[in-house]
Amino acid sequence: MCTYSCRVYITLIHPPPLLAHFLCLFRSVCLPIPARRGMPQTACPAAGTMFTPTGFSPHLAICSDADTEEEEGPRESPGPGAWPSDGPPITSASLDTLIQHLVPTTDYYPEKAYVFTFLLSARLFISPPELLARLCETCIKQQHLDQSPLDTAKVRKFGPKILQLLTEWTETFPTDFREEKMVGLFKDIIHRIAPCDEAYWKTLNQVLQTLNQKLAAITQGEESIVRVNTSSVSSISDKLVAFKAKPPPIQKDMLSICHDPYTLAQQLTHVELEHLSNIGPEEFVQAFVQKDPLDSSQPCFSDQKKTTNLEAYVRWFNRLCYLVATEICMPAKKKQRAQVIEFFIDVARECFNIGNFNSLMAIISGMNMSPVSRLKKTWGKAKTAKFFILEHQMDPTGNFYNYRTALRGAAHRSQTANSNREKIVIPFFSLLIKDIYFLNEGCANRLPNGHVHFAKFVELARQVGEFMTWKQIECPFETDRSILHYLHTAPIFSEDGLYLASYESESPENQVEKDRWKALRYDRYHRETL
Protein backbone atom coordinates (compact mmCIF):
# COMPACT_ATOMS: atom_id res chain seq x y z
CA MET A 1 0.00 0.00 0.00
CA CYS A 2 1.40 3.40 -0.97
CA THR A 3 2.16 5.72 1.91
CA TYR A 4 2.03 9.03 0.06
CA SER A 5 -0.78 11.22 -1.11
CA CYS A 6 -0.76 11.52 -4.87
CA ARG A 7 -1.57 14.97 -6.20
CA VAL A 8 0.36 18.21 -5.88
CA TYR A 9 -0.53 21.34 -7.79
CA ILE A 10 2.16 23.91 -8.45
CA THR A 11 0.55 27.20 -7.48
CA LEU A 12 2.22 30.52 -8.16
CA ILE A 13 1.23 34.03 -7.18
CA HIS A 14 0.46 36.24 -10.18
CA PRO A 15 2.50 34.35 -12.80
CA PRO A 16 3.00 36.01 -16.20
CA PRO A 17 0.58 34.84 -18.92
CA LEU A 18 3.00 32.52 -20.71
CA LEU A 19 4.17 31.04 -17.41
CA ALA A 20 0.60 30.49 -16.26
CA HIS A 21 -0.15 28.71 -19.52
CA PHE A 22 2.94 26.56 -19.11
CA LEU A 23 2.38 25.66 -15.48
CA CYS A 24 -1.19 24.57 -16.10
CA LEU A 25 0.35 21.56 -17.82
CA PHE A 26 1.57 20.41 -14.41
CA ARG A 27 -1.96 20.02 -13.08
CA SER A 28 -1.94 16.30 -13.75
CA VAL A 29 1.57 15.65 -12.49
CA CYS A 30 1.42 13.25 -9.57
CA LEU A 31 4.29 13.55 -7.13
CA PRO A 32 4.92 11.21 -4.20
CA ILE A 33 4.89 14.06 -1.70
CA PRO A 34 3.63 13.59 1.84
CA ALA A 35 0.44 15.40 2.69
CA ARG A 36 0.78 18.96 4.01
CA ARG A 37 4.37 19.21 2.86
CA GLY A 38 5.05 22.31 0.78
CA MET A 39 7.06 22.41 -2.37
CA PRO A 40 10.74 22.82 -1.39
CA GLN A 41 12.18 26.00 -2.77
CA THR A 42 15.60 26.41 -4.31
CA ALA A 43 17.37 29.56 -3.20
CA CYS A 44 19.69 31.50 -5.46
CA PRO A 45 23.06 29.79 -4.91
CA ALA A 46 25.84 31.67 -3.24
CA ALA A 47 28.67 30.11 -5.19
CA GLY A 48 29.22 27.89 -8.17
CA THR A 49 30.92 27.39 -11.50
CA MET A 50 29.76 27.79 -15.03
CA PHE A 51 29.02 24.64 -16.97
CA THR A 52 28.26 24.69 -20.68
CA PRO A 53 28.24 22.02 -23.37
CA THR A 54 31.93 22.84 -23.86
CA GLY A 55 32.92 22.21 -20.25
CA PHE A 56 33.69 23.98 -16.99
CA SER A 57 34.97 27.52 -16.65
CA PRO A 58 36.43 28.37 -13.23
CA HIS A 59 36.22 32.10 -13.87
CA LEU A 60 32.50 32.80 -13.76
CA ALA A 61 31.76 32.59 -10.06
CA ILE A 62 28.31 33.26 -8.60
CA CYS A 63 27.65 35.88 -5.97
CA SER A 64 24.70 36.57 -3.74
CA ASP A 65 22.40 39.56 -4.10
CA ALA A 66 24.12 41.12 -1.13
CA ASP A 67 27.50 40.93 -2.87
CA THR A 68 26.17 42.81 -5.87
CA GLU A 69 24.83 45.74 -3.92
CA GLU A 70 27.83 46.84 -1.93
CA GLU A 71 28.34 50.51 -1.22
CA GLU A 72 30.92 50.96 -3.98
CA GLY A 73 28.37 49.73 -6.53
CA PRO A 74 28.43 46.84 -8.92
CA ARG A 75 31.70 45.84 -10.51
CA GLU A 76 32.35 46.11 -14.23
CA SER A 77 35.30 44.85 -16.19
CA PRO A 78 37.23 47.74 -17.78
CA GLY A 79 37.28 46.18 -21.24
CA PRO A 80 37.07 43.03 -23.32
CA GLY A 81 40.61 41.99 -22.48
CA ALA A 82 39.73 41.96 -18.78
CA TRP A 83 37.06 39.27 -19.20
CA PRO A 84 37.44 37.17 -17.22
CA SER A 85 41.06 36.20 -16.52
CA ASP A 86 42.50 39.71 -16.17
CA GLY A 87 40.09 40.84 -13.47
CA PRO A 88 37.31 39.80 -11.11
CA PRO A 89 34.30 38.04 -12.59
CA ILE A 90 31.41 40.25 -13.59
CA THR A 91 28.54 39.99 -11.15
CA SER A 92 26.54 42.86 -12.64
CA ALA A 93 26.95 45.35 -15.45
CA SER A 94 24.99 47.49 -17.84
CA LEU A 95 23.56 45.77 -20.89
CA ASP A 96 25.86 47.82 -23.13
CA THR A 97 28.91 46.61 -21.21
CA LEU A 98 27.81 42.99 -21.46
CA ILE A 99 27.27 43.35 -25.20
CA GLN A 100 30.73 44.89 -25.52
CA HIS A 101 32.23 41.83 -23.81
CA LEU A 102 30.61 39.67 -26.49
CA VAL A 103 32.28 41.54 -29.34
CA PRO A 104 35.48 39.86 -30.61
CA THR A 105 38.48 41.89 -31.73
CA THR A 106 41.77 41.07 -33.41
CA ASP A 107 43.30 39.97 -30.10
CA TYR A 108 40.26 39.12 -27.95
CA TYR A 109 37.60 36.41 -27.98
CA PRO A 110 35.05 35.91 -25.19
CA GLU A 111 35.17 32.63 -23.29
CA LYS A 112 32.65 30.05 -24.44
CA ALA A 113 31.11 30.05 -20.97
CA TYR A 114 30.39 33.76 -21.30
CA VAL A 115 29.04 33.39 -24.84
CA PHE A 116 26.58 30.71 -23.76
CA THR A 117 25.51 32.59 -20.62
CA PHE A 118 24.96 35.90 -22.35
CA LEU A 119 23.23 34.54 -25.47
CA LEU A 120 20.92 32.54 -23.20
CA SER A 121 19.98 35.44 -20.92
CA ALA A 122 20.23 38.46 -23.22
CA ARG A 123 16.87 37.64 -24.82
CA LEU A 124 15.27 38.82 -21.58
CA PHE A 125 16.42 42.35 -22.41
CA ILE A 126 16.95 42.48 -26.17
CA SER A 127 15.71 40.37 -29.08
CA PRO A 128 18.29 38.19 -30.90
CA PRO A 129 17.97 40.18 -34.17
CA GLU A 130 18.56 43.45 -32.32
CA LEU A 131 21.48 41.95 -30.40
CA LEU A 132 23.09 40.64 -33.58
CA ALA A 133 22.54 43.99 -35.30
CA ARG A 134 24.32 45.80 -32.45
CA LEU A 135 27.09 43.22 -32.45
CA CYS A 136 27.67 43.65 -36.19
CA GLU A 137 27.46 47.44 -35.96
CA THR A 138 30.11 47.49 -33.22
CA CYS A 139 32.37 45.17 -35.20
CA ILE A 140 32.05 47.34 -38.33
CA LYS A 141 33.01 50.47 -36.40
CA GLN A 142 35.85 48.90 -34.42
CA GLN A 143 37.40 47.12 -37.42
CA HIS A 144 36.62 49.93 -39.91
CA LEU A 145 34.80 47.47 -42.18
CA ASP A 146 32.89 50.33 -43.79
CA GLN A 147 36.06 51.85 -45.21
CA SER A 148 38.00 51.06 -48.36
CA PRO A 149 40.52 49.65 -48.72
CA LEU A 150 40.37 47.24 -45.80
CA ASP A 151 43.35 46.50 -43.62
CA THR A 152 43.87 42.93 -44.85
CA ALA A 153 46.24 41.87 -42.08
CA LYS A 154 43.89 43.19 -39.41
CA VAL A 155 40.78 41.64 -40.97
CA ARG A 156 42.49 38.25 -41.24
CA LYS A 157 43.01 38.32 -37.48
CA PHE A 158 39.45 39.43 -36.80
CA GLY A 159 37.64 37.30 -39.41
CA PRO A 160 38.11 33.85 -37.84
CA LYS A 161 36.92 35.18 -34.48
CA ILE A 162 33.64 36.67 -35.72
CA LEU A 163 33.03 33.51 -37.74
CA GLN A 164 33.62 31.39 -34.63
CA LEU A 165 31.24 33.50 -32.54
CA LEU A 166 28.44 33.35 -35.10
CA THR A 167 29.02 29.63 -35.63
CA GLU A 168 28.68 29.03 -31.87
CA TRP A 169 25.46 31.03 -31.93
CA THR A 170 23.98 28.95 -34.76
CA GLU A 171 25.01 25.70 -33.09
CA THR A 172 23.64 26.46 -29.63
CA PHE A 173 20.59 28.60 -30.49
CA PRO A 174 19.66 27.59 -34.06
CA THR A 175 16.03 28.68 -33.75
CA ASP A 176 17.18 32.30 -33.40
CA PHE A 177 18.12 32.06 -37.08
CA ARG A 178 14.65 31.13 -38.23
CA GLU A 179 14.20 34.84 -38.76
CA GLU A 180 15.51 35.98 -42.15
CA LYS A 181 16.92 39.13 -40.56
CA MET A 182 19.35 37.04 -38.51
CA VAL A 183 20.69 35.21 -41.56
CA GLY A 184 20.86 38.50 -43.47
CA LEU A 185 22.99 40.11 -40.75
CA PHE A 186 25.25 37.05 -40.69
CA LYS A 187 25.77 37.22 -44.45
CA ASP A 188 26.35 40.97 -44.39
CA ILE A 189 29.20 40.89 -41.89
CA ILE A 190 30.91 38.05 -43.77
CA HIS A 191 30.40 39.91 -47.05
CA ARG A 192 32.38 42.79 -45.58
CA ILE A 193 35.40 40.68 -44.63
CA ALA A 194 35.31 38.21 -47.56
CA PRO A 195 37.46 40.40 -49.90
CA CYS A 196 40.39 39.74 -47.57
CA ASP A 197 40.02 35.95 -47.69
CA GLU A 198 37.67 34.00 -49.96
CA ALA A 199 37.74 31.12 -47.47
CA TYR A 200 35.25 33.10 -45.37
CA TRP A 201 32.56 32.51 -48.00
CA LYS A 202 33.22 28.79 -47.93
CA THR A 203 32.98 28.72 -44.15
CA LEU A 204 29.77 30.75 -44.25
CA ASN A 205 28.16 28.32 -46.69
CA GLN A 206 29.16 25.36 -44.54
CA VAL A 207 27.73 26.99 -41.41
CA LEU A 208 24.47 27.88 -43.15
CA GLN A 209 24.16 24.36 -44.58
CA THR A 210 24.57 22.85 -41.13
CA LEU A 211 22.13 25.42 -39.73
CA ASN A 212 19.49 24.56 -42.33
CA GLN A 213 19.85 20.87 -41.51
CA LYS A 214 19.35 21.59 -37.82
CA LEU A 215 16.32 23.78 -38.45
CA ALA A 216 14.81 21.13 -40.72
CA ALA A 217 15.31 18.51 -38.00
CA ILE A 218 13.74 20.81 -35.41
CA THR A 219 10.75 21.45 -37.67
CA GLN A 220 10.36 17.73 -38.27
CA GLY A 221 10.50 17.10 -34.53
CA GLU A 222 7.84 19.74 -33.85
CA GLU A 223 5.57 18.25 -36.51
CA SER A 224 6.06 14.83 -34.93
CA ILE A 225 5.10 16.28 -31.56
CA VAL A 226 1.87 17.63 -33.03
CA ARG A 227 1.00 14.20 -34.43
CA VAL A 228 1.82 12.44 -31.18
CA ASN A 229 -0.16 14.98 -29.14
CA THR A 230 -3.17 14.53 -31.42
CA SER A 231 -3.12 10.76 -31.03
CA SER A 232 -2.50 11.02 -27.28
CA VAL A 233 -5.43 13.38 -26.73
CA SER A 234 -7.76 11.20 -28.79
CA SER A 235 -6.69 8.18 -26.73
CA ILE A 236 -8.19 9.57 -23.51
CA SER A 237 -11.32 7.52 -23.04
CA ASP A 238 -13.49 6.22 -20.24
CA LYS A 239 -15.32 3.76 -22.48
CA LEU A 240 -12.83 1.10 -21.40
CA VAL A 241 -14.49 1.04 -18.00
CA ALA A 242 -17.51 -0.64 -19.53
CA PHE A 243 -15.27 -3.46 -20.75
CA LYS A 244 -13.85 -4.41 -17.35
CA ALA A 245 -16.20 -7.33 -16.81
CA LYS A 246 -15.70 -8.81 -20.29
CA PRO A 247 -12.81 -7.22 -22.16
CA PRO A 248 -13.22 -7.60 -25.91
CA PRO A 249 -10.54 -9.55 -27.83
CA ILE A 250 -9.16 -6.37 -29.46
CA GLN A 251 -8.47 -4.77 -26.07
CA LYS A 252 -4.72 -4.82 -25.44
CA ASP A 253 -2.68 -4.06 -22.36
CA MET A 254 0.99 -3.35 -21.75
CA LEU A 255 1.85 -6.90 -20.70
CA SER A 256 0.49 -8.24 -23.99
CA ILE A 257 2.78 -5.83 -25.87
CA CYS A 258 5.88 -6.11 -23.69
CA HIS A 259 6.44 -8.50 -20.78
CA ASP A 260 10.12 -7.66 -20.17
CA PRO A 261 10.65 -4.72 -17.76
CA TYR A 262 14.14 -3.94 -19.10
CA THR A 263 12.86 -3.71 -22.67
CA LEU A 264 10.08 -1.33 -21.67
CA ALA A 265 12.56 0.80 -19.69
CA GLN A 266 14.72 1.01 -22.82
CA GLN A 267 11.78 2.13 -24.96
CA LEU A 268 10.78 4.72 -22.35
CA THR A 269 14.34 6.01 -22.54
CA HIS A 270 13.92 6.32 -26.31
CA VAL A 271 10.88 8.54 -25.81
CA GLU A 272 12.58 10.63 -23.14
CA LEU A 273 15.73 11.28 -25.17
CA GLU A 274 13.71 12.13 -28.26
CA HIS A 275 11.83 14.77 -26.29
CA LEU A 276 15.04 16.09 -24.74
CA SER A 277 16.73 16.42 -28.12
CA ASN A 278 13.97 18.77 -29.31
CA ILE A 279 14.19 21.20 -26.38
CA GLY A 280 16.32 24.28 -27.02
CA PRO A 281 18.04 26.09 -24.13
CA GLU A 282 16.14 29.30 -24.93
CA GLU A 283 12.83 27.61 -24.02
CA PHE A 284 13.80 27.61 -20.34
CA VAL A 285 14.16 31.38 -20.45
CA GLN A 286 11.07 31.96 -22.57
CA ALA A 287 8.91 29.88 -20.22
CA PHE A 288 9.47 32.22 -17.27
CA VAL A 289 10.16 35.59 -18.84
CA GLN A 290 8.28 38.74 -17.93
CA LYS A 291 8.37 42.12 -19.65
CA ASP A 292 11.56 44.06 -18.99
CA PRO A 293 10.43 46.97 -16.76
CA LEU A 294 13.03 49.26 -18.35
CA ASP A 295 11.69 48.68 -21.86
CA SER A 296 8.41 50.54 -22.38
CA SER A 297 8.56 50.64 -26.17
CA GLN A 298 8.34 46.97 -27.10
CA PRO A 299 6.31 43.99 -25.95
CA CYS A 300 8.15 41.19 -24.22
CA PHE A 301 10.21 39.42 -26.87
CA SER A 302 9.23 35.98 -25.64
CA ASP A 303 5.55 36.69 -26.20
CA GLN A 304 6.22 35.92 -29.85
CA LYS A 305 8.20 32.76 -29.10
CA LYS A 306 7.00 29.30 -28.23
CA THR A 307 7.89 26.68 -25.66
CA THR A 308 6.36 23.92 -27.76
CA ASN A 309 8.95 21.23 -27.07
CA LEU A 310 9.16 21.96 -23.37
CA GLU A 311 5.38 21.80 -22.98
CA ALA A 312 5.22 18.58 -25.00
CA TYR A 313 7.70 16.97 -22.63
CA VAL A 314 5.56 17.86 -19.62
CA ARG A 315 2.52 16.39 -21.39
CA TRP A 316 4.45 13.18 -22.00
CA PHE A 317 5.19 12.91 -18.27
CA ASN A 318 1.50 13.36 -17.47
CA ARG A 319 0.49 10.78 -20.06
CA LEU A 320 2.91 8.20 -18.67
CA CYS A 321 1.51 8.77 -15.15
CA TYR A 322 -2.04 8.14 -16.38
CA LEU A 323 -1.01 5.22 -18.57
CA VAL A 324 0.54 3.44 -15.57
CA ALA A 325 -2.56 4.09 -13.47
CA THR A 326 -4.85 2.93 -16.29
CA GLU A 327 -2.91 -0.30 -16.78
CA ILE A 328 -3.23 -1.07 -13.07
CA CYS A 329 -6.91 -0.20 -12.73
CA MET A 330 -8.03 -1.88 -15.95
CA PRO A 331 -7.80 -5.65 -15.15
CA ALA A 332 -10.96 -7.14 -13.69
CA LYS A 333 -9.15 -9.62 -11.43
CA LYS A 334 -7.12 -8.74 -8.36
CA LYS A 335 -4.30 -11.13 -9.26
CA GLN A 336 -3.86 -9.50 -12.66
CA ARG A 337 -3.76 -6.03 -11.15
CA ALA A 338 -1.08 -7.17 -8.69
CA GLN A 339 0.97 -8.57 -11.58
CA VAL A 340 0.78 -5.23 -13.38
CA ILE A 341 1.93 -3.43 -10.22
CA GLU A 342 4.91 -5.76 -9.86
CA PHE A 343 5.74 -5.32 -13.55
CA PHE A 344 5.85 -1.53 -13.32
CA ILE A 345 7.91 -1.72 -10.13
CA ASP A 346 10.49 -3.69 -12.10
CA VAL A 347 10.28 -1.21 -14.97
CA ALA A 348 10.87 1.66 -12.54
CA ARG A 349 13.91 -0.11 -11.10
CA GLU A 350 15.36 -0.60 -14.59
CA CYS A 351 14.75 3.09 -15.35
CA PHE A 352 16.70 3.97 -12.20
CA ASN A 353 19.60 1.74 -13.24
CA ILE A 354 19.65 3.28 -16.73
CA GLY A 355 19.61 6.84 -15.33
CA ASN A 356 16.12 7.63 -16.61
CA PHE A 357 14.80 9.50 -13.59
CA ASN A 358 11.91 11.19 -15.42
CA SER A 359 10.21 7.91 -16.38
CA LEU A 360 11.00 6.58 -12.91
CA MET A 361 9.16 9.44 -11.27
CA ALA A 362 6.25 9.21 -13.72
CA ILE A 363 5.78 5.52 -12.89
CA ILE A 364 5.99 6.14 -9.14
CA SER A 365 3.57 9.05 -9.50
CA GLY A 366 1.09 6.95 -11.47
CA MET A 367 1.20 4.23 -8.83
CA ASN A 368 0.65 6.83 -6.12
CA MET A 369 -2.50 8.29 -7.68
CA SER A 370 -5.45 7.92 -5.35
CA PRO A 371 -7.45 5.54 -7.61
CA VAL A 372 -4.44 3.18 -7.51
CA SER A 373 -3.26 3.66 -3.94
CA ARG A 374 -6.75 2.91 -2.53
CA LEU A 375 -6.68 -0.64 -3.97
CA LYS A 376 -5.62 -2.16 -0.65
CA LYS A 377 -6.48 -5.75 -1.54
CA THR A 378 -4.56 -5.49 -4.78
CA TRP A 379 -1.50 -4.01 -3.09
CA GLY A 380 -1.72 -6.75 -0.48
CA LYS A 381 -1.26 -9.31 -3.25
CA ALA A 382 1.76 -7.55 -4.78
CA LYS A 383 5.41 -7.75 -3.73
CA THR A 384 6.22 -4.14 -2.96
CA ALA A 385 9.56 -4.15 -1.15
CA LYS A 386 11.40 -2.83 -4.23
CA PHE A 387 8.76 -0.16 -4.71
CA PHE A 388 9.36 1.35 -1.28
CA ILE A 389 13.10 1.44 -2.00
CA LEU A 390 12.44 3.38 -5.20
CA GLU A 391 10.07 5.73 -3.36
CA HIS A 392 12.83 6.40 -0.87
CA GLN A 393 15.17 7.38 -3.71
CA MET A 394 12.63 9.93 -4.97
CA ASP A 395 11.54 11.13 -1.51
CA PRO A 396 11.06 14.93 -1.57
CA THR A 397 12.50 15.32 1.94
CA GLY A 398 15.39 17.78 2.06
CA ASN A 399 14.53 19.25 -1.33
CA PHE A 400 14.73 15.79 -2.95
CA TYR A 401 18.13 15.14 -1.35
CA ASN A 402 18.19 11.42 -2.19
CA TYR A 403 17.27 12.04 -5.80
CA ARG A 404 19.81 14.83 -6.21
CA THR A 405 22.50 12.55 -4.78
CA ALA A 406 21.56 9.82 -7.25
CA LEU A 407 21.52 12.38 -10.07
CA ARG A 408 25.04 13.51 -9.20
CA GLY A 409 26.14 9.88 -9.23
CA ALA A 410 24.60 9.36 -12.66
CA ALA A 411 26.23 12.56 -13.93
CA HIS A 412 29.63 11.40 -12.66
CA ARG A 413 29.14 8.02 -14.29
CA SER A 414 28.25 9.77 -17.54
CA GLN A 415 31.45 11.85 -17.49
CA THR A 416 33.67 8.80 -17.06
CA ALA A 417 31.63 6.37 -19.18
CA ASN A 418 33.09 4.29 -21.98
CA SER A 419 29.75 3.43 -23.57
CA ASN A 420 26.60 5.36 -24.45
CA ARG A 421 24.56 3.18 -22.08
CA GLU A 422 26.51 4.56 -19.13
CA LYS A 423 26.27 8.16 -20.39
CA ILE A 424 22.48 8.41 -20.07
CA VAL A 425 21.25 11.03 -17.60
CA ILE A 426 17.58 11.99 -17.83
CA PRO A 427 16.65 14.29 -14.92
CA PHE A 428 13.27 14.55 -13.25
CA PHE A 429 12.14 17.35 -15.52
CA SER A 430 9.42 18.92 -13.40
CA LEU A 431 11.90 19.43 -10.57
CA LEU A 432 14.41 20.99 -12.97
CA ILE A 433 11.74 23.42 -14.13
CA LYS A 434 10.86 24.19 -10.51
CA ASP A 435 14.50 24.88 -9.68
CA ILE A 436 14.80 27.28 -12.60
CA TYR A 437 11.52 28.97 -11.68
CA PHE A 438 12.59 29.61 -8.09
CA LEU A 439 15.99 30.83 -9.27
CA ASN A 440 14.15 33.28 -11.51
CA GLU A 441 11.78 34.39 -8.76
CA GLY A 442 14.42 34.50 -6.02
CA CYS A 443 16.84 36.80 -7.84
CA ALA A 444 15.97 39.97 -9.74
CA ASN A 445 17.00 40.29 -13.38
CA ARG A 446 18.15 43.85 -12.75
CA LEU A 447 19.56 45.62 -9.74
CA PRO A 448 18.06 48.90 -8.49
CA ASN A 449 20.59 50.89 -10.53
CA GLY A 450 19.39 49.21 -13.72
CA HIS A 451 22.39 46.95 -14.18
CA VAL A 452 21.84 43.37 -15.30
CA HIS A 453 22.23 40.90 -12.43
CA PHE A 454 24.65 38.74 -14.37
CA ALA A 455 25.52 36.44 -11.45
CA LYS A 456 21.96 35.12 -11.56
CA PHE A 457 22.30 34.19 -15.22
CA VAL A 458 25.58 32.38 -14.62
CA GLU A 459 23.70 30.00 -12.33
CA LEU A 460 20.84 29.74 -14.82
CA ALA A 461 23.34 28.87 -17.56
CA ARG A 462 24.93 26.25 -15.29
CA GLN A 463 21.63 24.44 -14.81
CA VAL A 464 20.58 24.72 -18.44
CA GLY A 465 24.10 23.85 -19.60
CA GLU A 466 24.05 20.57 -17.70
CA PHE A 467 20.74 19.73 -19.31
CA MET A 468 22.15 20.57 -22.75
CA THR A 469 25.00 18.12 -22.17
CA TRP A 470 22.66 15.32 -21.15
CA LYS A 471 20.25 15.84 -24.04
CA GLN A 472 23.00 15.29 -26.62
CA ILE A 473 23.33 11.60 -25.71
CA GLU A 474 22.13 9.29 -28.46
CA CYS A 475 19.94 6.43 -27.29
CA PRO A 476 21.97 3.19 -27.53
CA PHE A 477 18.96 0.86 -27.41
CA GLU A 478 17.22 -0.69 -30.39
CA THR A 479 13.81 0.71 -31.25
CA ASP A 480 10.69 -1.41 -30.84
CA ARG A 481 8.02 0.26 -32.96
CA SER A 482 5.11 -1.70 -31.49
CA ILE A 483 5.99 -0.68 -27.92
CA LEU A 484 6.59 2.96 -28.86
CA HIS A 485 3.29 3.05 -30.74
CA TYR A 486 1.48 1.66 -27.70
CA LEU A 487 3.12 4.17 -25.36
CA HIS A 488 1.93 7.06 -27.53
CA THR A 489 -1.52 5.84 -28.55
CA ALA A 490 -2.84 3.37 -25.96
CA PRO A 491 -6.17 4.55 -24.49
CA ILE A 492 -5.94 6.01 -21.01
CA PHE A 493 -8.56 6.90 -18.44
CA SER A 494 -9.31 10.43 -17.38
CA GLU A 495 -9.22 11.07 -13.64
CA ASP A 496 -12.93 10.26 -13.31
CA GLY A 497 -12.44 7.13 -15.38
CA LEU A 498 -9.66 5.99 -13.07
CA TYR A 499 -11.84 6.45 -10.00
CA LEU A 500 -14.73 4.61 -11.64
CA ALA A 501 -12.49 1.69 -12.62
CA SER A 502 -10.96 1.67 -9.14
CA TYR A 503 -14.37 1.55 -7.41
CA GLU A 504 -15.52 -1.25 -9.69
CA SER A 505 -12.36 -3.20 -8.84
CA GLU A 506 -12.63 -2.68 -5.08
CA SER A 507 -15.85 -1.29 -3.65
CA PRO A 508 -15.92 2.09 -1.88
CA GLU A 509 -14.98 1.90 1.79
CA ASN A 510 -16.55 5.05 3.19
CA GLN A 511 -19.44 7.40 2.53
CA VAL A 512 -17.30 9.88 0.60
CA GLU A 513 -16.19 7.18 -1.82
CA LYS A 514 -19.74 5.82 -2.09
CA ASP A 515 -21.12 9.25 -2.97
CA ARG A 516 -18.41 9.81 -5.54
CA TRP A 517 -18.96 6.38 -7.10
CA LYS A 518 -22.68 7.06 -7.33
CA ALA A 519 -22.09 10.42 -8.99
CA LEU A 520 -19.60 8.95 -11.47
CA ARG A 521 -21.96 6.12 -12.43
CA TYR A 522 -24.79 8.58 -12.90
CA ASP A 523 -22.64 10.81 -15.11
CA ARG A 524 -21.53 7.85 -17.22
CA TYR A 525 -25.10 6.62 -17.64
CA HIS A 526 -26.24 10.12 -18.56
CA ARG A 527 -23.51 10.44 -21.21
CA GLU A 528 -24.25 7.04 -22.70
CA THR A 529 -27.97 7.81 -23.08
CA LEU A 530 -27.39 11.09 -24.89
pLDDT at 3: 40
Residues 443 and 506 in one domain: no
CATH number of the domain residue 167 falls in: 1.20.870.10
Residues 340 and 402 in one domain: yes
Element (H, E) at 51: strand 50-52
Residues 416 and 275 in one domain: yes
Q: Which residues contact 377 (CB under 8 A, 6 or more apart)?
A: 334, 506
Residues 385 and 485 in one domain: yes
299 inside domain: no
pLDDT at 264: 98
Residues 374 and 435 in one domain: yes
Residues 344 and 402 in one domain: yes
How far is residue 449's CA from residue 179's CA, in Å, rounded to a whole number?
33
Of 150, 179, 196, which residue constitutes the final position of a domain? 196
Residue 513's domain comprises 494-529
pLDDT at 21: 46
Of 171, 196, 221, which residue constitutes the final position of a domain? 196
Residues 481 and 521 in one domain: no
pLDDT at 523: 78
Going by the DSSP 8-state scheme, the letter that residue 44 receives in this structure is P
Q: Chain centroid to CA 77: how far? A: 33
- The runs of H, that is alpha helices, within 368-494 are 370-373, 376-381, 385-393, 397-415, 420-423, 429-442, 454-471, 481-489
pLDDT along the chain (530 residues), means of 10: 36 38 45 34 34 32 38 36 56 95 95 95 94 96 92 94 97 94 96 92 94 92 77 57 45 88 98 93 82 48 66 94 95 94 97 97 96 95 91 91 95 92 95 91 91 94 94 94 94 92 91 86 70
Residues 277 and 382 in one domain: yes
369 inside domain: yes
Q: What's the structural domain count of the chain?
A: 3
3-state secondary structure of 458: helix
Residues 412 and 483 in one domain: yes
pLDDT at 519: 85
Residues 180 and 281 in one domain: no
Residues 392 and 524 in one domain: no
Q: What is the pTM of this model?
A: 0.80
Residues 275 and 413 in one domain: yes
Element (H, E) at 57: strand 55-57
Q: Which residues contact 16 (CB under 8 A, 6 or more apart)?
A: 288, 289, 290, 291
CATH number of the domain residue 332 falls in: 1.10.840.10
28 inside domain: no
510 inside domain: yes
339 inside domain: yes
252 inside domain: no
pLDDT at 517: 84
354 inside domain: yes
377 inside domain: yes
